[in-house]
Amino acid sequence: MSLKSKMMIPRLATIKRKSVQFDQSGGPTHNLALYLKAKTPEIVNLSHNVNPTSKRRREHQVVQSLCSKMAGIVEEIEDEHLKHLFDNKDVINVYNLDVVNLSAGAPGPDLLKRCIPLFMQATVHRMEKEQEHAYLFQYGITSGLWEYREQLSQFLTKRYSEQVNRADLVLTCGAAHGLVLIIDTFLPRNAVIFVEDVTYMIALEAFRQFPSMKVVPVPQTSEGVDTEALNIIASEEKSKGSWELTENKLFWAIFYTIPIFHNPTGLTMSQNCCESLVRVARKLDLAVVRDDVYNLLYYGDSDSPPRRLFSYDRGTEGFRGGHVISNGTFSKIMAPGVRVGWLEVAPRLALVLRNSYELFLRSGILKSGGAVNQYMSGVITSILELGLEDKHLDFLVHTCKERMQAVCDTLDQFLPSYCSFTRPEGGYFVWLRLPESVDANRLAKWCQDKYKVAAIPGSRFSVKQGFKNYLRLAIAFHQVEILTEATKNLCLGIQDYVGNKCK
């Protein structure tokens, strides 16, 4: 309930636990009722009883009833003692193995425990450096510690096998924060956000925080976004609207994507697709915001992970580039709890940054906040400097590769032939296609109850709640034995469900 609605009630009535005392001077009680009707769907029916011409006593009864219901609602808000994100009653507790939850896109406890000695060592290293000025405990530089960006650029250059420039990096609190920062900084209020047909479900939730912006889905192929469709759809949107672009609000639209080891499909955008996406972005002057969160979790045979879309947007003759923003994070390659990430801003934007005293300097959040997560970025700097992240990432790649293999091998063996999936070359997710007639929401419930295994139904990843016959499985949380058994149980559950429920 909003503060406003809480504050309105006492003018007419004082709410105590389960009882309401009215201010007998009365007032336009039906207005309150109508207000409550708009604010709280639960009391719509009651508020239908409100008739402005009815007798005052009757009005009071109705409002009393409404208010005690409201009081009930207030009383019902619980502050649960949750220990972790997946400990909520709406989400299956991923730490409780009574039902094996294959939903969590997060590293498991065995992987996170390995961070403890790393952080102990790095903290001591960093604290020694702080003895003189204790700068790390001071407000920080807006775009993030110089040493953090220097160490990060060296680490990324090595791991991507592509040049990453320190000057192009900006510290964030992780990719979710980076995404919101981009929208907030670069887009006008009525901007358009294009997304792939299925995409990271929490990005969709983040976009809803900007209700004046329009979210438009674009079809995908096995190679990535359908760039021809994007061209047509985005051209049409562009011709319909007008945008007030300024030196800050540079783009009328963004295309949000996860081109490498996509969430939820696990697929990687092809080179052709990357090239034509950059062409469309340049032609229509929209920014491509890419979550580069799984890139370094590459399980293939080549020496380096797939080439980043960012590198297709380098300045070329006649064009300075600058339509691609890379949004990275330590959440998947170290630990989500550290809340540290980075934006790699394309050359054209870097130039704008320099010419105008840094565009991000104008972000009130970054400037007044004195950078974000300054302390932790200092500890991460030491982790990078001491070479600890390199070793840790090698271990993560090795372990997650085994986990991905275990899930995919089990699917190969037990998945009914009327289902399909593509074995991803990296990342966290496997995207299962079920027969058209299967509603994965129901199937998931069935498997949870009868086969003690849970996964996320496809509709959660779709703007229009499509893709009902898909399931996403996540591989990083559980160890191989648990994953193997749970995946087998899921396959048996699918077979049982289709045999019994879809006849």
Q: How far is the CB of 22 from ligand PLP (least distance, A)?
A: 48
- The single-letter code of the amino acid at 361 is L
User: Closer to ligand PLP at the Cβ: 263 or 484?
Assistant: 263
377 binds ligand PLP (CB under 6 A): no
| Distance of alpha carbon 4 from alpha carbon 429, whole angstroms | 42
Q: Which residue's CB atom is positioned nearest to ligand PLP? A: 174
Sole binder of ligand PLP in the list 336, 337, 369, 416 (CB under 6 A) = 336
Q: Whose Cβ is closer to ligand PLP: residue 205's or residue 247's?
A: 205
Joined tokens for residue 134: 């204790």
Tokens of 204: 């969709």
Using rule CB under 6 A, residue 291 touches ligand PLP: yes
- List the one residue from 104, 293, 353, 494 that touches ligand PLP (CB under 6 A): 293
Long-range contacts of 436-442 (CB under 8 A, 24+ apart): 436/469, 437/469, 437/502, 438/468, 438/469, 438/494, 438/497, 438/498, 438/502, 439/468, 439/469, 440/468, 440/469, 440/470, 440/471, 441/468, 442/497, 442/501
With CB under 6 A as the contact rule, the residue among 107, 144, 341, 458 that binds ligand PLP is 341
Is 176 a binder of ligand PLP (CB under 6 A)? yes
Selected range binding ligand PLP among 87-95, 151-159, 171-179, 491-499, rule: CB under 6 A = 171-179
Question: Smallest distance, Å, CB 363 to ligand PLP?
Answer: 17
d(CA 209, CA 226): 27
Least Å distance between CB 260 and ligand PLP?
10
Residue 344 binds ligand PLP, judged by CB under 6 A: no
Determine which helix (DSSP H) or strand (DSSP E) holds 234, and give its type and residue range.
helix 227-240
Q: d(Cα 287, Cα 206) in Å, to the nearest integer?
A: 18
**Considering only residues 97-116, where is the footprint of ligand PLP by CB under 6 A?**
105
**Region of 15-23, 168-176, 318-326, 352-360 interacting with ligand PLP (CB under 6 A):** 168-176
Q: Does 144 bind ligand PLP (CB under 6 A)?
A: no
Q: Which of 234, 258, 380, 430 binds ligand PLP (CB under 6 A)?
A: 258
- With respect to ligand PLP, which residue has the nearer C-beta, 428 or 497? 428
User: Could you tell me how far CA 336 lies from the centroid of its own chain?
Assistant: 12
Shortest Cβ 105–ligand PLP spacing (Å) = 4
CA contacts within 13 A on the Cβ side of 457: 18
Which residue's CB is nearer to ligand PLP, number 76 or number 90?
Answer: 90
| Binds ligand PLP by CB under 6 A, chosen from 119, 148, 200, 252 | 200
For 174, 206, 209, 255, the CA distances from 180, given in Å and listed in that order, are 10, 7, 9, 14
Cα distance between residue 418 and residue 19, in whole Å: 58
Q: Alpha-carbon distance 331 to 179, whole Å?
A: 14
Taking the least distance from each CB to ligand PLP, the nearer of 15 and 176 is 176
Q: Which is nearer to ligand PLP, 205 or 394 (CB)?
A: 205
Between CA 211 and CA 33 the distance in angstroms is 26
Instruction: Lay out the site mask for ligand PLP across 212-251 (x = CB under 6 A, - = otherwise).
Output: ----------------------------------------
Please identify, using beta-carbon distances, which residue of 331 and 399 lies nearer to ligand PLP.
331
Q: Which of 108, 140, 144, 174 binds ligand PLP (CB under 6 A)?
A: 174
Q: Which is nearer to ligand PLP, 29 or 327 (CB)?
A: 327
Tell the burial category of 412 from Cβ atoms under 10 Å away from its Cβ (0-12, 13-18, 19+): exposed
Nearer to ligand PLP, 293 or 419 (CB): 293
Number of residues that bind ligand PLP (CB under 6 A): 13
Residue 295 touching ligand PLP (CB under 6 A): no
Locate all alpha helices (DSSP H) within 114-190, ordered by sequence: 115-130, 146-160, 175-186
DSSP assignment of 179-223 equals HHHHHHHH--TT-EEEEESB--HHHHHHHTT-TTSEEEEE-EETT
Supply the DSSP symbol for 386.
T
The one among 331, 381, 382, 484 contacting ligand PLP by CB under 6 A: 331
Angle, helices 480-501 vs 388-414, to 10°: value is 30
- The least CB distance from residue 197 to ligand PLP, in Å, is 15
The residue (of 305 and 341) whose beta carbon lies closer to ligand PLP is 341
**Taking the complex as a whole, how short is the minimal distance between the CB of residue 57 and ligand PLP, in angstroms?**
55
Residues 6+ apart with CB under 8 A from 293: 175, 258, 263, 327, 328, 329, 331, 332
Q: Does 381 bind ligand PLP (CB under 6 A)?
A: no
The residues of the shown chain that bind ligand PLP, judged by CB under 6 A, are 105, 174-176, 200, 258, 263, 291, 293, 329, 331, 336, 341
